[in-house]
């Protein structure tokens, strides 16, 4: 039974990590850049990534083998599907094809709601096929100009953490929670800051920095009965997040204390 469970877990893990082709969508930004349009009717999608080679073979090359260096890179996207001329996306393609307009494209995974690739492209092929016994279809080739940006590997700063505070005698204990969005890179550091609640925003204390595997910190030597403000910041390889929402707490002496 244990072996069957292990096999099931392995298969499930593989299936969960696999990407279904039907989930990958080609989208286009409209002319004003305020709307992302999924290309209507799309079925097949191929992202081509190629590189030129520069031959550097010489007469004394070892063993008679040709030798090459990498040259310029290029990319293109081939897409086909059912033709829906009335859709805004195909109207945009027609205009771009006729006017040689550049299109800003994005390839997304609709299942995981994540971006995969993006770049500028020109429409270099846009045939329409109308067989007598089937639906009218289109195929399109978008040839990239400049880089195809791998949006999945683009690292940004993380979202801000959240913070809670618990008052004690002359101290306040802080606990942070890491953000769900880490910017595509593990959070490695966390910083805590404090100030008197009545002080201005330019009077935050120097940050206390520690590794992100320790998300708690206690500010001590505080004045009981005085309100303090606290915030935290997390860091990944791209830099610091925005500060957390400020939380306030007032240290209090224990009942019956001096």
Model confidence pLDDT, tens digit, residues 4-47: 666 666 666 666 666 777 889 999 999 888 899 999 999 999 99
Spatial CA neighbour of 234 closest among 225, 244, 224: 244
Contact residues for 203 (Cβ-Cβ < 8 A; gap 6+): 195, 196
Model confidence pLDDT, tens digit, residues 101-120: 999 999 998 877 788 899 99
Q: How high is the pLDDT of residue 185? A: 83
Cα distances from 99 to residues 36, 93, 102, 169, 184, in angstroms, run 20, 10, 9, 72, 38
Q: How high is the pLDDT of residue 169? A: 96
Long-range (24+ apart) CB contacts under 8 A made by 212-218 are 212/178, 212/186, 212/187, 212/188, 214/190, 215/175, 215/176, 215/177, 215/178, 215/190, 216/173, 216/174, 216/175, 216/176, 217/173, 217/174, 217/192, 218/168, 218/171, 218/172, 218/173, 218/174
Contact residues for 156 (Cβ-Cβ < 8 A; gap 6+): 183, 184, 238
Put residue 167 in one of left, alpha, beta given phi > 0 → left and psi -120 to 50 → alpha.
beta
Phi and psi at 23, nearest 5°, equal -85, -10
User: Average of pLDDT values for 142-148?
Assistant: 95
Cα dihedral sign, 242-244-246-250: negative
Q: Are 227 and 196 in contact (CB under 8 A)?
A: yes
Q: Are 43 and 73 in contact (CB under 8 A)?
A: no
- Rounded CA-CA distance 215/170 in Å is 21
Q: How high is the pLDDT of residue 137? A: 95
pLDDT > 80? residue 253: yes
């Amino acid at each position: 039974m244990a072996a069957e469970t292990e096999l099931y877990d392995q298969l499930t893990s593989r299936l969960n990590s696999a990407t279904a082709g039907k989930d990958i969508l080609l989208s286009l930004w409209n002319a004003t850049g305020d709307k992302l349009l999924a290309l209507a009717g799309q079925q097949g999608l191929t992202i081509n990534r190629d590189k030129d080679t520069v031959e550097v073979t010489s007469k004394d090359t070892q063993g008679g083998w040709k030798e090459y260096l990498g040259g310029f890179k290029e990319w293109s996207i081939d897409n086909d599907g059912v033709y829906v001329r009335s859709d805004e996306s195909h109207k945009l393609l027609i205009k771009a094809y006729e006017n040689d307009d550049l299109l800003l494209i994005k390839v997304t995974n609709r299942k995981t709601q994540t971006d995969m690739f993006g770049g500028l492209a020109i429409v270099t092929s846009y045939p329409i096929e109308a067989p007598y016994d089937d639906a009218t279809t289109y195929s399109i080739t978008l040839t990239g100009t400049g880089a195809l940006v791998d949006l999945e590997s683009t690292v940004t700063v993380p979202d801000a953490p959240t913070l809670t505070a618990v008052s004690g005698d002359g101290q306040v204990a802080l606990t942070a929670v890491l953000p769900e969005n880490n910017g595509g890179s593990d959070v490695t550091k966390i910083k805590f800051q404090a100030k008197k609640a009545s002080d201005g925003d330019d009077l935050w204390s120097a940050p206390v920095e520690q590794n992100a595997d320790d998300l708690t910190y206690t500010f001590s030597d505080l004045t009981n009965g005085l309100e303090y403000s606290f915030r935290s910041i997390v860091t990944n390889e791209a830099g610091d997040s925005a500060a957390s929402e400020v939380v306030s707490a007032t240290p209090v002496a224990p009942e019956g204390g001096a």
